């Protein structure tokens, strides 16, 4: 019953998250057509400062409350107070970095951009903390709807401004509108009268402190390469890298984020039952891989056809970024169940160790790659570092939950073979049908490639499952869910 509830929650969150990512794709395509790579690079530098400073003081008080059996209303007040204080501190720190960043990159525009972006955490830091009651009951729809409404508002504003001004300010203002609308809407979804309270802070911070440290290091990992590439290769190359990196991870993270959130709630309720926990871990790993692996490898195989079609001729380097990054990003879903499990059982320090090692390896690799071999070197270095981290995380999982690395890899063998067949078929078809660039037939070719790859993947997977005598894995779980929905 718990597994079905978690799965339904994951399905709802995934659908809403896909809708939000679809909004992001529309925004990305329109902005790329209206603005230049240098514009994207400039905004990426400022946005990276915002992301790192926010992660430095991130307080995951909602997650700390979700893992409790009951939520005290006074703790909700404390959560609101802590989030509000954090928002104020983050805004002041971001404003303080404006002048140094402008001096470092010799671009005075960064000063005013960062001063405006300093308002973003302030606008988002006062959302209704009463939303945590929905999460505690494994009801994920309200929180996702709040994010979706804000994202749609930001999209509309960015498109209107981009057409009217053809300026990077369209990207900046949309980042202000999104949290403002989300915060206002949160009080319609979960009414709450703000009350300031600090009693009980320590119990919340004991849990939140470790997750904050983990996500801070993770954010620095994700953003530091943008600073390095921007400084070494310039804003135009950074714009290419940023758009390529975002596209490479867009589909994967669209599914991964909601599934991780629901896994966290499910694992928290299995705490104390190691056998069921291991079984749930392996099934979650299978589910993530069976759904997400074809997106990453499929995108890499078709990037040279998709990117010119939707972004135009000025974004050729994006193809290279996607080709090297998308497969690795999709393989990284192998370790996502460990992240949810560690938080669910109150052991977030495991994540801190993993992120610290990742940081210590990724930064020098990316720096060396960019310095000696340009954008291609930076991208390949990041991909190699990602593969090493995947293996290291599987080793941590072996010690944490007593499942060997070989067992975790063999757990997904059908998906690995299926995706290899898919990529092979797409490559053969792609090179047998050459379409001139800039013609309407490009759209037909892309649709044909996607349909062929999807059919090959699904048919191969089902065939291998049948040959394995239909074990009780992710495939059976998906069929059971479809059957239960039809009966309902």
Cite the DSSP H helix spans in 402-468.
405-410, 413-432, 441-467
305 contacts 442 by C-beta, under 8 angstroms = yes
Integer-rounded Cα Rg, in Å, for the chain is 22
User: Model's pTM, two decimal places?
Assistant: 0.69
181 contacts 61 by C-beta, under 8 angstroms = no
Could you tell me if residue 71 is left (phi over 0), alpha (psi between -120 and 50 degrees) or otherwise beta? beta
Q: Give the per-residue pLDDT at 459.
A: 95
Chain position carrying tokens 């729809």: 141
40, burial (CB in 10 Å: exposed 0-12, middle 13-18, buried 19+): buried
Dist CA 244 CA 264 (whole Å): 30
Dist CA 270 CA 258 (whole Å): 19
Cite the DSSP H helix spans in 271-348.
274-311, 317-331, 336-344
Centroid of chain to Cα 394: 20
Angstrom distances, CA of residue 190 to CA of 135, 137, 183, 453: 12, 14, 11, 43
Q: Give the per-residue pLDDT at 463.
A: 94
Q: Give the per-residue pLDDT at 1.
A: 42
236 contacts 38 by C-beta, under 8 angstroms = yes
Dist CA 425 CA 122 (whole Å): 50
H helix or E strand, kind and range, residue 196: none
Q: Give the per-residue pLDDT at 127.
A: 83
Q: Give the per-residue pLDDT at 255.
A: 63
Dist CA 177 CA 188 (whole Å): 17
HSE-CB for 386 with a 13 A CA cutoff: 19
Residue 29: count of CB within 10 angstroms of its CB: 15
Dist CA 7 CA 311 (whole Å): 35
Q: pLDDT tens string for the chain (488 positions)?
A: 444 555 555 555 556 666 666 666 666 676 677 677 878 877 877 777 777 766 655 555 555 565 555 666 677 777 788 888 888 888 888 888 888 888 887 888 888 888 988 888 888 878 887 777 676 566 666 777 787 788 888 888 888 888 888 787 888 888 888 889 988 988 888 888 877 776 656 655 555 555 666 666 666 666 777 777 887 888 888 888 888 888 888 766 666 665 665 565 556 566 666 777 777 788 888 888 888 899 999 999 999 888 888 887 788 889 999 999 999 989 988 877 777 777 666 666 777 777 777 777 777 888 888 888 889 999 999 899 888 888 888 888 887 778 888 888 888 999 999 999 999 999 999 888 777 665 667 788 888 999 999 999 999 999 999 998 888 877 877 777 666 555 55
For CA atoms 365, 367, 372, 373, the dihedral sign is: positive
Q: Give the per-residue pLDDT at 425.
A: 95
DSSP 70-100: S--HHHHHHHHHHHHHHHHHHHHHHHHHHHH
């Amino acid at each position: 019953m718990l597994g079905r509830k978690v799965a339904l929650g994951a399905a709802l969150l995934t659908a809403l998250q896909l809708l939000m990512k679809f909004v992001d794709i529309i925004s990305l395509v329109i902005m790329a057509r209206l603005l230049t790579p240098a514009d994207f690079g400039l905004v990426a530098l400022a946005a990276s400062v915002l992301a790192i400073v926010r992660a430095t003081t991130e307080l995951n008080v909602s997650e700390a409350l979700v893992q409790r059996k009951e939520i005290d209303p006074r703790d909700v007040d404390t959560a609101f107070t802590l989030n509000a204080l954090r928002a104020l501190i983050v805004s002041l720190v971001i404003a303080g970095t404006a002048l140094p960043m402008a001096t470092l990159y010799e671009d005075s525009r960064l000063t005013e951009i960062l001063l405006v972006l300093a308002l973003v955490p302030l606008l988002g830091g006062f959302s209704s903390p009463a939303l945590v009651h929905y999460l505690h009951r494994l009801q994920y729809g309200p929180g996702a709807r709040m994010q979706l409404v804000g994202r749609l508002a930001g999209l509309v504003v960015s498109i209107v401004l981009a057409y009217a001004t053809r300026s990077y300010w369209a990207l900046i203002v949309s980042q202000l509108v999104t949290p403002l609308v989300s915060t206002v809407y949160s009080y319609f979804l979960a009414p709450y009268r703000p009350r300031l309270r600090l009693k009980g802070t320590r119990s919340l911070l004991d849990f939140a402190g470790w997750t904050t440290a983990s996500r801070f290091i993770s954010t620095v990992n994700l953003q530091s390469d943008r600073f390095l590439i921007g400084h070494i290769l310039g804003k135009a190359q950074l714009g290419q890298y940023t758009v390529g990196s975002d596209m490479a991870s867009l589909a994967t993270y669209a599914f991964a984020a909601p599934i991780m959130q629901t896994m966290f709630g499910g694992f928290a309720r299995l705490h104390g039952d190691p056998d069921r926990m291991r079984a749930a871990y392996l099934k979650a790993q299978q589910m993530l891989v069976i759904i997400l692996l074809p997106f990453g490898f499929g995108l890499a195989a078709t990037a040279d056809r998709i990117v010119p079609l939707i972004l135009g001729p000025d974004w050729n380097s994006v193809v290279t970024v996607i080709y090297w990054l998308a497969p690795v990003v999709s393989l990284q879903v192998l370790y996502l169940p460990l992240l949810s499990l560690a938080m669910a059982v109150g052991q977030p320090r495991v994540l801190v160790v993993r992120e610290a090692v990742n940081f210590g390896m990724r930064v020098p690799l990316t720096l060396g790659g960019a310095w000696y071999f340009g954008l291609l070197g930076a991208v390949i270095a990041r991909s190699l570092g990602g593969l090493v981290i995947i293996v290291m995380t599987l080793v941590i999982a072996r010690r944490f939950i007593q499942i060997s690395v070989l067992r975790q890899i063999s757990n997904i063998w059908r998906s690995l073979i299926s995706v290899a067949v898919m990529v092979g078929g797409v490559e053969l078809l792609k090179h047998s049908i050459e379409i001139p660039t800039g013609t309407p037939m490009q759209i037909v070719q892309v649709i044909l490639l996607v349909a062929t790859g999807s059919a090959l993947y699904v048919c191969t997977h089902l065939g291998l499952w049948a040959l394995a005598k239909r074990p009780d894995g992710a495939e059976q779980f998906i069929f059971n869910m479809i059957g239960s929905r039809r009966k309902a």
